Structure 1
């Protein structure tokens, strides 16, 4: 794990090179030649394609999303219908574009909910007395052991199938992972000498969390948020495939897979397109998370 001491303290305890030494010059040449992580580049490109597709769907789509008379039913790809039409005569590419917007909305919203809830629980658990910490840690372990999809199905069953229900369910399920990571890293930060010095000097818990805990925990959380975003897209697609996602006409890659299942032998493109989109977006988020980990972790930067 990376050194949790502030940069100024770490520098104070180390041995600085002499002025004009070759060590400093060599370090500068090395940092100047440092290349971006391939994972970061590839992940950014894959995710960027989905983002551009989602943004384009806000401004323009070939046809209206609810237009059932766009063309003949089950038509093949053509200049007018790039991915053909479905059983209702709707343009598949229009649904494909709009579904990208829904997937990113689910990922961003559910990750935001998970981060807020998980960070609060993790910090409270690490800063509390042993009994409270033990109880919260047990609750976190139970939530992590509980299958995410099953928990999401329970929430959707109670609240009804909708986009907001899916976001809430996935966010609650993902908060347990964020809480565990925050708790572990916060406990390590609170054991550092500079935090002890801050407490002795009269700094309140709010200041300690804001000035010491959050800056040290944030790099790890950013990586986990990327991974959680990919898991959120998979979870939403699974719910929609099972008929528990947002109802029509709300677009979803998972429901597109469900609707194309009966015609996959005669119209494979209707299933291939959303399947590849889910795989590429999730892969992009995972690679982006790995690339950010390599960039933010000093030990991995030195290894490169």
Structure 2
């Protein structure tokens, strides 16, 4: 491993015993230029109700140790064994200056977004997604955003605000995200008109009324995404609280955990470049149920975005 800019490793924990990264991609040997870079986003300064999401990254890391105690079902392999996976640690910021967090995120992730590595981030409240998406779109012009969320996140905001309820309004207002590049799944608060007419919305009501199977929904998303670089932002409140009780803002009537995992698996073959998993609130998570789901979702992303899995899929199709 080369030497370079030192990165914090979040209390010396890494996701399921993956390698810690101690240098920027430019200083790392070529073998690390294709794989997964894990990032912790320990921030809840934008949360409306319940703080605690700042503790989520290490809780998900710990939950990942159980997930990877055997090959990931139903893929039949450990994604850490078929590609390089490095944990880049948590984004460091002066906690007494929360307004500095977005800039600190950019400083931490820009070089990873600009590399061949795919980025898997653990939040943090949903406000952490804003600088992540900005970095992604700067490095991937024409990229698309898939949001899985119970909420529209289009609250009014003033420049400099940090609010997990204004993620999309901020991204759309500053031009970082185009209306047609937004795909939203799972909405069950607010109204369809809260999101741009040109965006692609699959609310829970629309999914139910259309009797849209998860397989069909995944196929529609893949058609919209095409071969464009795709970022997935998964707010854990997209799931019904019965399956993900450890979130900051409950919204009854969401996805089951099985449906969410199947939907993610159905996106294999997309040009997946990054994913964040946000809004886990460990103090509200009895028995670590939601943390376990978050870790499994991370494992699914690592599997479906790997060259190994996509090569297996092409072989099976012959």
Query: Into which bin does the TM-score normalised by the smaller protein fall?
Result: under 0.3
Which protein is richer in strand relative to its size?
Answer: 2
TM-score, normalised by the number of residues in structure 2: 0.21
Relative contact order (alpha carbons < 8 A, sep ≥ 6): 1 or 2 greater?
1
Which protein is richer in helix relative to its size?
Answer: 1
TM-score, normalised by the number of residues in structure 1: 0.22
- Give 1 or 2 for the bigger CA radius of gyration: 1
